[in-house]
Amino acid sequence: MSETDKPETVLLAHGSGGSLSHELVAGRVLFRISTEATPTLDDSAVVEMHGCIAFTTDSYIVDPLFFPGGDIGRLAVCGTVNDLSMVGAIPRHLSLALILEEGFPLQSLDAVMRSVGDTCREAGVDIITGDTKVVNRGKGDGLFINTAGIGLVPDGRHISGKLARPGDRILVSGSLAEHGLAIMAAREGLAFSSAIRSDCAPLNGIVGALLEAMGDAVHCMRDPTRGGLGTTLNELASQSRVAMLIDESAIPVRPDVRAACEMLGLDPMYVANEGKFIAIVEPSRAEAALRALRVHPLGKNAVDIGEVVAGRPGRVMMRTHLGPTRLVAMLSGELLPRIC
């Protein structure tokens, strides 16, 4: 093939394992995602790690692939970095698997790989192994990504959704519902789409700062992604066999986001986030935890939204603006498909 007929889109042969596959990986992927530890291209990556290891995986099928505030590449790194961070692990190494559809523009692949590399460098993680497959035209939807990640859990650190105790305070690191709304707006071509950006961000930096300041006063952490805050609090309350009481007036939602949610008939309590987390902490240390969160750029708007209480296990109640409390149920059904 001469220089002039270089393909501009993904061909089935890019997934053959032959020369075009090698060209794709070497010429379009590796140098864009490279960090200190470049993949060796052996059948497995070999790394030295001592101690307790956290391991997670997630697949990304977001539609559209590019949206205000991010793209599928940034999401695929942040999602896995954040899941490792939520158990107190220090994210280290990721895998990156691409499922490409025949006909997908190579320029778009370049943009996504650039974003993967930039986000890895921002989060301080390396991609050390990966895979590329190509499916026939019409059998995929452009690009799907899977990332898995491993991180080191420091000695003695124990953070789990099972560890909330009555009296604990429930903190949220910032304003909610921006990721889901940005995707929805981009998908529907809505006029406010430029103003509302996804909050997609790696949380390992802010979590590290919080844990350094708080030690074992942090009992649980979780990022309210699919299903939003409402669903995630229900999960934590069930797992810890406790009840929760939160204040509607304390729940941080930007006025423009709230207005857009109202217009679209969405409850911000159930809209996905990709750069926020819930921390459930020892009551006597809640103020200190808020201070530690607020000094970090991703935690400027951190707030205390309520408390863990003794009560029917798994029940989440909310004190409303008008005074009475109401039940916060888990999201049933699908609010927004293909959000991450």
Give the binding site for Mg ion (CB under 5 A).
83, 223
Residue pair 62/72 in contact (Cβ under 8 Å)? The answer is yes
Task: State the burial class of residue 332 (Cβ atoms within 10 Å of its Cβ: 0-12, 13-18, 19+).
Answer: exposed
Pair of tokens at residue 121: 């460098």
CB of 220 to Mg ion, least distance (A): 12
CB of 227 to Mg ion, least distance (A): 10
Nearer to Mg ion, 84 or 316 (CB): 84
Q: Give me the DSSP letters along 216-262.
A: GGEEEEE---TTHHHHHHHHHHHHHT-EEEEEGGGS---HHHHHHHH
CB of 58 to Mg ion, least distance (A): 8
Element containing residue 112 per DSSP (H, E): helix 106-123
Nearer to Mg ion, 100 or 221 (CB): 221
Minimal CA–CA distance to 201: which of 69, 295, 110, 301?
A: 69
Residue pair 73/116 in contact (Cβ under 8 Å)? The answer is yes
CA 279 – CA 214 distance, rounded (Å): 11
CA 322 – CA 249 distance, rounded (Å): 10
Nearer to Mg ion, 89 or 113 (CB): 89
CB of 331 to Mg ion, least distance (A): 15
CA 228 – CA 177 distance, rounded (Å): 7
CB of 181 to Mg ion, least distance (A): 19
Nearer to Mg ion, 142 or 151 (CB): 151
Nearer to Mg ion, 226 or 285 (CB): 226
CB of 82 to Mg ion, least distance (A): 6
Pair of tokens at residue 5: 């007929």
Nearer to Mg ion, 14 or 222 (CB): 222
Pair of tokens at residue 263: 């217009």
Minimal CA–CA distance to 64: which of 292, 258, 339?
A: 339
Residue pair 291/185 in contact (Cβ under 8 Å)? The answer is no
Give SS3 for 63. coil
CB of 22 to Mg ion, least distance (A): 35
CB of 161 to Mg ion, least distance (A): 10
